[in-house]
């Protein structure tokens, strides 16, 4: 397994190109199952999760050419409507082939994703929504077996809580259902809006994406599409925090600041300068950091996917801050690893109190999930002495395109030490 080795203490200067959004590219790739012909995706990030989704689409019978930032998906006729455990366990977002397969071919067999490091991650909302559209669902030996003997029919679906991939799965199913569907209590994430843009390009009629209520007029047939994926707000946010932590002055090219307002407000409160310069976002920090309290929430609230990274920043602030994680039940696994680097963080259930202002020192640390990995790399950037080896970086590679290279390009002392690859469970 690869290790990323970081020597701290370097301020960061230069330009970081922000890639396409992983969590937009994944549902859009699944949407290619809704039509025949060749679809073209542009600005796709070079990530393990993209390769995993390509492998899944190939397993289903589609032709997929990954030449990032371009991905071509083509193929006609009914695919093999099965997503096997071996692929789904690598990436829970594989569940998003369920809606398209049932809507288009009337049947699908998709492995239950199971839990992961950050939580049990149930998919009950996905299944309830498909039943509301007329599918029959049964669980058999770890697999979801969904059937729709006749075409799905539009209906009203109320989510018990906002779920990003649940909203996306049902949008894709409803796009080919007969008649109108109304999805209520939807996730507002920008990635949901991106999928709606693509479904409308394909010939569906989707209105209200980005709000609580999404109205969808199902089409009898959908067409392939050509679409450039929106920039990744979480990648951009991660580099914003990295510069805030290490100090310096960096431009983030194509960073979607409009999707990062809450993070920007919190960073400014901590003493970080955030400003827009053309299509770039400029991040500067050269004075002491102030403690800031944060509670994660569905979009447009503070993103849970930025919680671990922001916690590292608070370890450097002069004082105590409170971080509350409300989305997942176990998303503080970076805390013990940060503790091994000298951080003082008290966890009580969903609340962490970060006692900042203590110097961090380099250590061997273990990545446990995608965003925790990123937080450990950021911690390595700011150690007062020693070097940090972040192990199990396959977690990092799922969601960040060679983070060590992008950091080295702006002055960080980071390098990747190759090891033998092992693919483990997933959490995204």
237 three-state secondary structure: helix
**Footprint of ligand EPZ on 81-100 (CB under 6 A):** 93
Whether the Cβ atoms of residue 317 and residue 356 lie closer than 8 Å to each other: yes
CB of 304 to ligand EPZ, least distance (A): 5
Q: Within 10 Å of residue 287's Cβ, how many Cβ atoms?
A: 10
Give bridge partners of residue 110 from the DSSP assignment: 83, 144
Q: Quote the crossing angle between the two packed helices 98-105 and 124-132, to the nearest 10°.
A: 20
Tell me whether residue 52 or residue 125 sits nearer to ligand EPZ (CB atom). Answer: 125
* Cβ atoms of 326 and 349 closer than 8 Å: no
Nearer to ligand EPZ, 131 or 385 (CB): 131
Do the Cβ atoms of 279 and 253 come closer than 8 Å?
yes
Choice from 143, 328, 332, 400 touching ligand EPZ (CB under 6 A): 328
Which one of the spans 120-128, 276-284, 350-358, 372-380 is the region binding ligand EPZ (CB under 6 A)?
A: 120-128
End-to-end CA distance of the chain: 20
Site string for ligand EPZ, 225-264 (x = CB under 6 A): ----------------------------------------
In the region spanning residues 135 to 154, those forming contacts with ligand EPZ, defined by CB under 6 A, are: none
Residue from 95, 177, 166 nearest 133 by CA = 177
Annotated catalytic residue 116: yes
Of the candidates 135, 152, 142, the residue with the CA atom closest to the CA atom of residue 110: 142
Residue 280 or residue 378: which is nearer to ligand EPZ going by CB? Answer: 378
The residue within the footprint of ligand EPZ, chosen from 89, 104, 126, 259 (CB under 6 A), is: 126
Binding mask 154-193 for ligand EPZ (x = CB under 6 A): -------x-xxxx--------------------x---x--
> Measuring CA to CA, how many Å separate 356 from each of 54, 314, 339?
43, 6, 12
Q: Identify residues 330-389 at the interface with ligand EPZ (CB under 6 A).
A: 370-371
Residues contributing to the site for ligand EPZ (CB under 6 A): 23, 26, 93, 119, 121-126, 161, 163-166, 187, 191, 304-305, 327-328, 370-371, 399, 427-428
Among all residues, which ones are annotated catalytic?
116
């Amino acid at each position: 397994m690869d290790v990323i080795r970081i020597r701290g203490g370097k301020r960061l200067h230069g330009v970081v190109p922000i890639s396409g959004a992983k969590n937009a590219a994944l549902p859009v790739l699944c949407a290619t199952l809704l039509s025949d012909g060749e679809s073209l995706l542009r600005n796709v990030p070079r990530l393990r999760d993209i390769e995993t989704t390509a492998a899944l689409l190939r397993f289903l019978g589609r032709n997929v050419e990954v030449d990032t930032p371009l991905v071509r998906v083509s193929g006609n006729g009914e695919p093999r409507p099965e997503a096997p455990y071996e692929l789904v366990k690598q990436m829970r977002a594989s569940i998003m082939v369920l809606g398209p397969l049932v809507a288009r071919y009337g049947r699908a067999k998709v492995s239950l994703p199971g839990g992961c490091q950050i939580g049990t991650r149930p998919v009950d909302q996905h299944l309830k929504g498909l039943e509301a559209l007329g599918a029959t669902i049964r669980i058999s030996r770890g697999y979801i077996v969904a059937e729709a003997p006749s075409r799905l029919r539009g209906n009203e679906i109320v989510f018990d809580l906002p779920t990003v991939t649940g909203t996306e799965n049902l949008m894709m199913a409803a796009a080919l259902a007969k008649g109108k569907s109304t999805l209520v209590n939807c996730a507002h994430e920008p990635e949901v809006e991106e999928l709606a843009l693509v479904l409308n390009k394909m010939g569906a009629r989707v209105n209200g994406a980005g709000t609580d209520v999404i109205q969808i007029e199902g089409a009898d047939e959908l067409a392939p599409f050509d679409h450039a994926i929106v920039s990744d707000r979480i990648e951009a946010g991660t580099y914003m925090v990295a510069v805030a932590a290490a100090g310096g002055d960096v431009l983030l090219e194509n960073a979607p600041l409009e999707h990062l307002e809450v993070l920007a407000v919190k960073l400014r409160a901590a003493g970080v300068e955030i400003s827009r310069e053309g299509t770039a976002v400029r991040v500067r920090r050269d004075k002491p950091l102030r403690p800031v309290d944060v509670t994660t929430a569905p979009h447009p609230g503070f993103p849970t996917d930025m919680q671990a990274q922001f916690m590292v920043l608070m370890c450097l602030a002069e004082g105590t801050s409170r971080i509350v994680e409300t989305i997942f039940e176990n998303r503080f696994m970076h805390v013990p690893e940060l503790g091994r680097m000298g951080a003082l963080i008290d966890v009580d259930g969903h609340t962490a109190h970060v006692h900042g202002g203590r110097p961090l020192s380099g250590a061997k640390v273990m990545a446990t999930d995608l965003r925790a990995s990123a937080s450990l790399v950021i911690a390595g950037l700011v150690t007062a002495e020693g070097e940090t080896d972040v192990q199990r970086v396959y977690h990092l590679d799922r969601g960040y395109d060679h983070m060590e290279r992008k950091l080295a390009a702006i002055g960080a002392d980071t390098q990747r030490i190759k090891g033998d690859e092992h693919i483990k469970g997933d959490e995204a």
